Amino acid sequence: MKRKIALLLSVCMLLLTVAACGTGNQAGGATTAAATTAAAAATTAAAAAAATEAATTAAAGAAGTTAAATTAAAAATTTAAAAAADPAPALDAKPMRYYMPGSSKIMGDEMNAVINEKLAQDGVPVIFEPIYAPWDQWVNKINIMLSSGDEFELLHIMEDYIPTSVYAGRGGLTPLDDLIPQYAPELFDLFEQVLWDCATVGGTIYSIPAFWRDNSGDGEGKINLRKDKFDEFGLPYPQSHAEAIEILPVFQQMWKDQDGIERYIFEHSATRCPVAFHRLYDTWPFYASQDGIFKVTQDAQATLYFESDEFRMDTEFMHEMYKNNLIHPDVLNLPNDIRSDILNQGDFVMCIMTGPGNPAGIIQQTGIETVEIEQYVFEPEKPYLCNLPLLNSNGIPSTANNPELALLFLNWLYSSKENQDLLLHGVKGVTWNEVGPDMYERIKNENNQNLYAFDAWMIEHVKFHRFDVIDMSTDIQKADTLGNIHADNMVYSPMVGFNFDSEPVSTEMANLMAEYTASLLPIKLGLLPYEGNFERAMDKMRAAGCDRVIEEYQKQLDAYIASKG
């Protein structure tokens, strides 16, 4: 199988070379006349027949689809012409190492070779090298690399996890204000100003938006439930804290009675507040930071979130969940990959602001065709708060000796749908098939695994988005991906575009985060009751310097608001 796939890909790469040679101004450098002459001289019947037969066999074995065989056959008929045409001149290409959380992809090496062939043909002197770090090692790996001066050219940034401002505050990112106009000026027109504001710290651009979905009306998150199981058990969806405490234990037990599996509720991350429940508070809308540290009201007043009444109500609710055995007993130490496996299997009681919103992945994992996921918000008549229009971005590490490589690559990627398709989906007819202009179907191996699938959320631009044919999202959910469907009932947080520069209080911030993890996180997750534990934890937080941090935070926020006029 692998040999056949490799043969097919080599044919596809040759086809890319022919395409480049067919135009005089491309990297191949050969003129149309030269290519035509070479083709006429080289396309003997035997060569064409042999190449076509080999490619067709490879396509059928790799993908099992007529489209793959047809694509390979078409490529094979031009192989002899490519061999006779002038070779493409060597480019002074350098590696563009892109560090991301996760794991390498099936056929990743083969697809990288095709991507690099296309880059060379397009005259982009970049060698694309994706490098992955396991989720549970990601933070430490990147911190060590930046502090030790390891050279790499592109870093994925999850703005809802460790944002651009944190990396920039540590001196870990390269300023881009002078580099973008020089190497990739087209990028400025690709993203709205509000997204560039989110990638800016202290007036300096430090990352490039990865606008893979419009998040302007979805910043506060949703509740995710297994609709098929709730319907099966005849239970209503919880619409409040009290109903969740009443209904979820019943749901958990009824499901456990069927198969003996204990299931739990999950939040987006251990540190993040249960933001989806914040719509239930009278004080909504307000901003709660992704790290659980800051709260900002709509009049731009900042406080420490863990000193708020909302934090107390959050923890009291979570502690009730814990007492009802709805919180995973090892939630503090549960590895991200294990948590992801649980969610991908659909084995959850409730997901707060996270979860596999599309049931297709669960169906693929489990083979249970009846899976349905319900996504909803509490009190939908209340306004939707936009506080994080940018979910993901990509930054250039300060350790990069050739920062222009990342910009050249991103400029190339976002220049055409063809290029984005190649990175995200691979070779059409080999690893995916086009289903109309805006949909696609992945080709799978004998184990029903995708032959290739790059993580679109890390780098995609939504203007070139394709929906998977197995995507079971509703039309409304798909529209919500491409644009803001709540524009008439949406308010902006004063936090939009503000990035806290922690450098002036870097020591206090480091101490605060360490103490938060040790003393407050067990309370936040519900493992310890608020009463009898919070004041002791706050004494430690004050000793760590939390008052100095919030003072600096408010100072910078005031300056940001003033700068906007």
Could you read off the pLDDT of 71-113 as tens digits, one per residue? 343 333 333 333 333 334 445 899 999 999 999 999 999 999 9
Q: Is the pLDDT of residue 216 over 80?
A: no
Q: What is the model's pLDDT at position 563?
A: 81
Q: Is the pLDDT of residue 336 over 90?
A: no
Distance of CA 77 to the CA centre of its chain: 39
Beta-bridge partner residues of 468: 440
Check residue 10 and give its pLDDT.
54
- Is pLDDT above 80 for 185? yes
Q: Which of 103-112, 360-369, 432-441 has the lowest mean pLDDT?
A: 360-369
At 484-535, the pLDDT tens digits run: 888 888 898 998 888 888 889 999 999 999 999 999 999 999 999 999 999 9
Cβ atoms 352, 241 nearer than 8 A: no
CA distances from 423 to 108, 313, 514, 553 (A): 10, 45, 38, 39
How far is the C-alpha of 503 from the C-alpha of 201, rounded, in Å?
A: 11
pLDDT of 175 above 90: yes
- Per-residue pLDDT at 63 exceeds 50: no
Q: Is residue 64's pLDDT more than 80?
A: no
Q: For tokens 């990288």, what's the residue?
A: 112
Amino acid in position 26: Q
pLDDT for 218 equals 60
What's the confidence (pLDDT) of residue 204?
Answer: 93
pLDDT classification of 8: cutoffs 50, 70, 90: low
Which tens digits make up the pLDDT trace of 232-274? Answer: 999 999 999 999 999 999 999 999 999 999 999 998 788 888 8
Which residues, 6 or more positions from 444, have their beta carbon under 8 angstroms from its beta carbon?
Answer: 450, 451
* pLDDT at 49 exceeding the cut of 50: no
| Helices 108-121 & 2-21 angle (0-180, nearest 10) | 10
Report the distance separating Cα 165 and Cα 176, nearest Å.
14
Q: Which residues contact 275 (CB under 8 A, 6 or more apart)?
A: 220, 221, 268, 288, 352, 353
Mean per-residue pLDDT, 138-160: 94
Helix pair angle (2-21, 32-42), 10° resolution: 130
Q: Which amino acid is at 503?
A: E
- Other beta carbons within 10 angstroms of residue 142's beta carbon come to 22
pLDDT of residue 338: 86
Per-residue pLDDT band for 9 (boundaries 50, 70, 90) equals low
CB neighbours (10 Å) of residue 198?
25
Confidence of residue 1 (pLDDT cuts 50, 70, 90): low
Q: Is the pLDDT of residue 389 over 80?
A: yes
The 10s digit of each residue's pLDDT in 296-311 is: 999 999 999 999 999 9
Question: How do residues 444-470 score in pLDDT, each as one tens digit?
Answer: 999 888 999 999 999 999 999 999 988
Mean pLDDT of 341-347: 89
Structure confidence at residue 217 as a pLDDT band (50, 70, 90): low
pLDDT-based confidence at 355, cuts 50/70/90?
low
Where residue 81 falls (left for φ over 0; alpha for ψ -120 to 50; beta otherwise) is alpha
Instruction: With cut-offs at 50, 70 and 90, classify the pLDDT of residue 483.
Output: confident
pLDDT at 159: 87
Residue 331 is predicted with a pLDDT of 92
Q: How many CB atoms lie within 10 A of CB 259?
A: 8
What Rg, from alpha-carbon coordinates, does the chain have?
Answer: 26
What is the reported pLDDT for 407? 98
**Contact of 431 with 107, CB cutoff 8 Å:** yes
Does the pLDDT at position 425 exceed 70?
yes
Percent of the chain with pLDDT over 90: 61
Mean pLDDT of the chain: 84
Burial (CB count within 10 angstroms: exposed 0-12, middle 13-18, buried 19+), residue 153: buried
Local confidence band at 67 (pLDDT 50, 70, 90 cut-offs) = very low
Where does the pLDDT of residue 401 fall: very low under 50, low under 70, confident under 90, or very high at 90 and above? very high
User: Does residue 397 surpass a pLDDT of 50?
Assistant: yes
Beta bridge partners of 95: 127
